[in-house]
Amino acid sequence: MAIDDWFSASYGEARGKFLVAAKVAGATVQSFPHPLKGPDGGDLAMDMAYLGPQDAERVVVVSSATHGVEGFCGSGCQVGFLETNIHNELPDNMAIMYVHAHNPHGFAHERRVTEDNVDLNRNFVDFDAPLPANVAYDEVHAMLVPTDWDGPAREAADAAIENYIASNGMLAFQAAVVLGQHGHPDGIFYGGQAPTWSRRTIEALAAEHLMGRSHVALIDFHTGLGPRGYGELISVDVPGGPEHLRTVAWYGDEVRTPASGDSASSEVNGTIETGYHDLLVNTESTTIAIEYGTLPVDQVLAALRADNWLYLHGEVTSEMGVKIKREVRAAFYGEDSEWNAQIWERGLDILRKSIKGLAGS
C-alpha cells in the first residue's frame, strides 16, 4: 500500500483505517467511547491497540491527536506502523501500544481543542493546587479574540498585536500566548479548570495498561511549528536531567528543549508528557514529541485565532466558516504526498530509535 493510503481525509476514515489495521495485525483493541458525536453524527472514541506480551516489562506508546486536527498526521503513521508490522521488530519482553485520537472530538470537528475549548496539552496540571498564572496572556487576550473577523474589531486587534510585538519582541508575544492560561475560557491555549474527558480517559488507560512496567516510552505526534515537513524532536524534561539525557542518548543531539530556547516550541504548562511522568511514578518514562512543520507560524496563529472566533461568534457552515475551517486544516495537515512521505519516514526512524533505546534501558 502507498504511503498516501495510510492518511485520511476525515476522522471517521482515519478511525476506520486504524481499527481495520489493528485487527489485521492481531492487536488487542479497546475503545473508550466519547459522550458526544462528530459533526456528521458519527461515534467518537479514544481507541487503543496493543501488540506484544501483556506482561511486557517495556512498552512503547505511540499516540495521536492530542491536538485534535493534528491527528491526521499521527493517525497516518499509526496505520502505517500497523500495516507494515513494525511490532515484529520488537525484542522479547517489549510491547507497543497505539493510542488513536487522544482528543477525538477535536479531530472529528477539525479543531485543536477539546469539546470544552481546552488545549489538552495544557490540561495536565494539579487542579487541587493554585493554577499557574499567565499575566502576560491576560495582557494580550483581548487582542487575540476580537468580536469580528473581517471588520474594525479585527483590524484594531491586529494593530494592537503589532504594537505589542514592536515593544516586547516576537518571542515574548509567542511565549505569552502559548504558555497556557486558565483564566479565559473563551481564549486560546486554555488549560481548563478541571481534568477534561480526554485527560481522565488517558489516565484510566494508563492505569490499566502501563502501571507496573519497568520502562515506558512515549512518542506523541504534533504538527504546526517549524519548517514544513520537518519533524523536530521536543523534550519537555529539565535540560541536563536524567530523562532529558536519556532522550539525547536515544535520539542524538537534535533533541530540542523549550526551556533551553532552542526549540520551535515555547515552554508550556501541563503537557501530556508531564502527565505521563506524573502518572508513572514507579516507572522509568521517556517521552518525546515530534513536531512537524506546516505553514509559517504567523499563519498558524491566525488560523487558531480564526477558529476560536468562529466557535464564539460565527457560523461554521457560513462562507466565512468554511474558509476558516479550510485554513485551520491547512495549518495542521500538509495533505500532499511529499509531506506525507516526510512525516512517515521521520516517524518510522524515531519509532525504531525508541525501540532500540527502550531495549537498552
- State pLDDT tens for residues 309-358: 999 999 999 999 999 999 999 999 999 999 999 999 999 999 999 999 99
- pTM, rounded to two decimals: 0.96
pLDDT given at position 266: 66
Q: Which residues does 82 contact at the CB level (< 8 Å), separation at least 6? A: 18, 21, 22, 24, 25, 27, 49, 98
pLDDT averaged over every residue in the chain: 94
Q: Does 187 have pLDDT greater than 70?
A: yes
Separation between Cα atoms, residue 18 and residue 206, nearest integer Å: 20
Taking only the tens place, the pLDDT of each residue in 196-255 is 999 999 999 999 999 999 999 999 999 999 999 999 999 887 778 888 889 999 999 888
pLDDT given at position 262: 62
Separation between Cα atoms, residue 237 and residue 240, nearest integer Å: 8
Domains and CATH numbers, the chain: 3-128+192-294+333-359 (3.40.630.10), 138-178 (no CATH)
CB atoms under 10 Å from CB of 229, counted, come to 18
